[in-house]
Amino acid sequence: MEFIKIVGSGNDFVVVDNRTGKIRHASRLAKAVCQRKFGVGADGLVLLEQSRSADFRMRIFNPDGSEAEMCGNGLRCLVRFIKIKKISAKNHFIIETRAGLHQAFITNSRVKISMAVVGRPVLHQALTVGGQDLTVHSINTGVPHAVVVVADVASVDVAALGPMIRFHPAFLPAGTNVDWVQITGRQTLKIRTFERGVEAETLSCGTGTVAAALVCFLLGRVVSPVTVTAASGEKLRVSFTPDLQKVFLEGKTSVPFSGTWLEK
């Protein structure tokens, strides 16, 4: 199986062309290929597939084998894959995901995608987690996110608090991704994310970046466009209209290597 490893702001993915449907056990493959020690190592397996309603379809599988509805950085990496493989000469695509259709635009290594808010955000939820009283803001940007505003993201014990919020009864049965956000300016944020399915902190999260920017806007703390610095140190740009009917995520992608997965 030929693959390309593509990174979106520190979020890394194994991307494969599955338009022929040759991969029939994607969940099992994701568990194997995403392993850091025994596999390629990745935050997810991204499959390019045929679509009846769009140019292409994206499927994204977490390292635990679960299939996610949407992945912002994964989608950006998929678009870069399409260009690298010369599958299409276009620079504007419509991509189908389990969370709906998304526009995508590519200029060299930078990819911009449309995002959406699913349902209504819930602000100012009071939760007790690990003996701490927290104010949590919930929003679904294709997948659910719980956003916590903090004074300093560097001081957060993500490894300890992440699982407790991710599996908190308030977010069952599906659970939630968790984002800690530090407001550093009227148009700047810093973020750290504990990702559901990865079950650990990742260096970047596209849907989490959008969730953080939109929550901070709803709290009256930032205005569009918002530049968000990920744990990787790289920056993503979130732009949106005041009614949140148009939301975009933009950032660079990189390609460290390609290879062949030798199936066992």
pLDDT in tens, 161-176: 999 999 999 999 999 9
Q: Is the pLDDT of residue 51 over 70?
A: yes
Say how far apart CA 144 and CA 169 lie, in whole Å: 14
Per-domain boundaries in the chain: 2-114+252-260, 118-251
Say how far apart CA 174 and CA 161 lie, in whole Å: 18
146-150-155 Cα angle (round to 5) = 110
Q: What is the pLDDT of residues 68-91, one digit of tens each?
A: 999 999 999 999 999 999 999 999
Beta bridge partners of 191: 181
Model pLDDT, residue 264: 60
Q: pTM higher than 0.85, yes or no?
A: yes
Q: Is the pLDDT of residue 99 over 90?
A: yes
Give every CB contact of residue 128 below 8 A, 6+ residues apart in sequence.
134
Please provide the average confidence, as pLDDT, over all residues in the chain: 97
Do 80 and 253 touch, CB atoms closer than 8 A?
yes
User: Looking at 34, 77, 205, 216, which residue is catalytic?
Assistant: 205
> Residue 96 — very low, low, confident or very high, per pLDDT cuts 50/70/90?
very high
Say how far apart CA 240 and CA 215 lie, in whole Å: 12
State percent of the chain over pLDDT 90: 98
The architecture CATH gives domain 118-251: Roll (3.10)
Model pLDDT, residue 81: 98
> Which segments within the chain are labelled E, that is strand?
2-8, 11-17, 44-49, 56-61, 67-68, 92-97, 100-107, 110-115, 118-129, 132-140, 144-149, 177-185, 188-195, 200-202, 226-229, 235-240, 247-252, 254-260
* CB count in 10 Å sphere of residue 31: 18
Q: Give residue for tokens 């935050």.
A: 43
Give every CB contact of residue 112 below 8 A, 6+ residues apart in sequence.
104, 105, 106, 248, 249, 250
With b meaning 16 or more CB within 10 Å and e meaning fewer, what string describes 118-151? eeebeeeeebebeeeebebbbbbbbbbbbbbbee
For the segment 230-236, the average pLDDT, to the nearest whole number, is 97
> Which CATH class name applies to 2-114+252-260?
alpha beta
Q: Which of 24-28, 117-121, 130-134, 229-233 has the lowest mean pLDDT?
A: 130-134
Q: Is 153 helix (H, G, I), strand (E, B) or coil?
A: helix
The two domains 2-114+252-260 and 118-251 share their CATH topology (first three levels equal): yes
State percent of the chain over pLDDT 70: 100
> Residue 263 — very low, low, confident or very high, per pLDDT cuts 50/70/90?
confident
Model pLDDT, residue 212: 98
Say which amino acid occupies 257: F
Model pLDDT, residue 176: 98
> Residue 130 — very low, low, confident or very high, per pLDDT cuts 50/70/90?
confident
Q: Is the pLDDT of residue 201 over 90?
A: yes
Do 1 and 257 touch, CB atoms closer than 8 A?
no
Active-site residue flag, 205: yes
Active-site residue flag, 216: no
Inter-axis angle of helices 72-84 and 206-218, to 10 degrees? Answer: 130
